[in-house]
């Protein structure tokens, strides 16, 4: 199949992009195009105009932002993957991003594009939810922010206002000496979208007990979710494997898991429990200075 007819415009700056978006309700922003173009070819998306924001230099950056790391919407995923600041300050993002597609996918795909498309199985929305990231956008002349927990509301559905253009994302940096991360996903082949994924970040105290923990699960439900109840139970604990499994199992007991040709709802629930527990175990090992287990779930 071929895409339906559309017009193409290249924006010189964010003001011009927002003006075009405001003038055409059916216009879509394009940067890397790794999700949008295949959807257009299959005619699942039929924008009347594509607004190319690739050459807006102000939207491509990685920088310190006080107690966080800010990343521009058009920053290529491969750039984030290799960035020393991200590796040092946002290790969970650095751990997860090599799992996104192939190297060629990451060479074209952008941070903002993945977040804005909000695929439930995508890695970046999961990391944004797990780390309480804050997304920034422009709509007309308005500049505003949306917490990641409020941004994703359904499969490929977000709270980005009509005519809004995502401009960046900010990840808070955890301060502490013993911080570790873990990430696992399972799919049919490495580089495919995950059937289930899980991410965890922990901070251990001097006594080895959990001072802080964040656990997220992706691809199992309509959008990534945080396991808040499990986090509450495990804070202050030794993160023993049995108590982690029990807390995660309880948090996922009543989820409305997705079911499709790839995996049943029950499979996704079981896999989510297993992968979340393993992600926490890896995060603990990492925080203790041990080498985390290599993610061998994809095959």
What pLDDT score does 296 carry?
44
**What is the number of helices (H) and of strands (E) in the chain?**
12, 14
pLDDT reading at 297 higher than 50: no
pLDDT reading at 76 higher than 90: yes
* Residues 211-221: tens digit of each pLDDT: 999 999 999 99
Buried b (16+ CB within 10 A) or exposed e, 258-280: beeebbeeebbbbbbbbbbbbbb
Domains and CATH numbers, the chain: 7-52 (3.30.43.10), 57-172 (3.30.465.10), 179-287 (3.30.390.50)
pLDDT reading at 272 higher than 50: yes
Closest CA to 112 of 172, 47, 46, 53: 53
What pLDDT score does 190 carry?
78
Band (299; pLDDT cuts 50, 70, 90): very low
Burial of 254: CB neighbours in 10 Å, binned 0-12, 13-18, 19+: exposed
What pLDDT score does 292 carry?
52
What pLDDT score does 8 carry?
94
DSSP code per residue over 48-109 = SEEEE-TT-GGG--EEEETTEEEEETT-BHHHHHH-HHHHHH-HHHHHHGGGSS-HHHHHH-
8-state DSSP, 276: H
pLDDT reading at 10 higher than 70: yes
Closest CA to 234 of 249, 220, 224, 221: 249
* Residues 226-251: tens digit of each pLDDT: 999 999 999 999 999 999 999 999 99
3-state helix vs strand vs coil in the chain, percent to 5: 35, 25, 40
Residues above pLDDT 90, as percent of the chain? 84
Closest CA to 295 of 168, 197, 177: 197
pLDDT reading at 131 higher than 60: yes
Looking at residues 257-261, what average pLDDT do you find?
A: 92
pLDDT reading at 210 higher than 50: yes
Residues above pLDDT 70, as percent of the chain? 97
What pLDDT score does 44 carry?
87
Determine if residue 163 is left, alpha or beta; phi over 0 gives left, psi from -120 to 50 gives alpha, anything else beta.
left
Looking at residues 40-55, what average pLDDT do you find?
A: 92
Mean pLDDT of the chain: 93
Higher pLDDT, 191 or 114: 114
What pLDDT score does 291 carry?
64
What is the token pair recorded at 64? 């310190």
Range in 12-21, 198-207, 289-298 with the lowest mean pLDDT: 289-298
* Residues 108-120: tens digit of each pLDDT: 999 999 999 999 9
Q: Please say whether the beta carbons of 189 and 209 come within 8 A.
A: no
Taking the C-alpha atoms of residue 270 and residue 253, their distance in angstroms, rounded to an integer, is 10
């Amino acid at each position: 199949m071929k895409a339906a007819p559309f017009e193409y415009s290249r924006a010189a700056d964010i003001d011009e992009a927002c003006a075009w978006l405001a003038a055409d309700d059916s216009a879509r922003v394009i940067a890397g195009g790794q999700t949008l173009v295949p959807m257009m070819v299959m005619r699942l998306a039929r924008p009347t105009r594509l607004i190319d924001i690739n050459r807006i230099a102000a939207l491509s950056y990685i920088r310190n932002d006080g107690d966080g790391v800010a990343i521009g919407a058009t920053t290529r995923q491969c750039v984030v993957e290799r960035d020393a600041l991200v590796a040092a300050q946002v290790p969970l993002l650095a751990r997860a991003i090599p799992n996104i597609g192939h190297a060629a996918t990451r060479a074209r795909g952008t941070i903002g594009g993945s977040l804005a498309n909000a695929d439930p199985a995508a890695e970046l929305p999961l990391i944004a939810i797990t780390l309480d990231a804050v997304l920034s956008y422009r709509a007309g002349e308005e500049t505003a922010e949306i917490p990641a927990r409020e941004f994703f509301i359904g499969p490929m559905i977000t709270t980005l206002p009509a005519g809004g253009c995502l401009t960046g994302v900010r990840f808070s940096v955890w301060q502490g000496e013993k911080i570790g991360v873990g990430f696992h996903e399972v799919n049919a082949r490495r580089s495919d979208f995950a059937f289930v994924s899980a991410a965890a970040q922990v901070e251990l105290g001097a006594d080895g007990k959990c001072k802080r923990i964040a656990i997220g699960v992706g691809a199992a439900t309509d959008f990534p979710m945080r396991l808040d109840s499990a986090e509450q139970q495990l804070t202050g604990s030794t993160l023993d494997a049995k108590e982690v499994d029990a807390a995660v199992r309880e948090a996922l007991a009543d989820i409305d898991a997705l079911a499709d040709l790839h995996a049943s709802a029950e499979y996704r629930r079981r896999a989510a429990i297993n992968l979340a527990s393993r992600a926490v175990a890896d995060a603990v090992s990492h925080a203790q200075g041990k080498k985390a287990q290599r993610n061998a779930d994809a095959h």
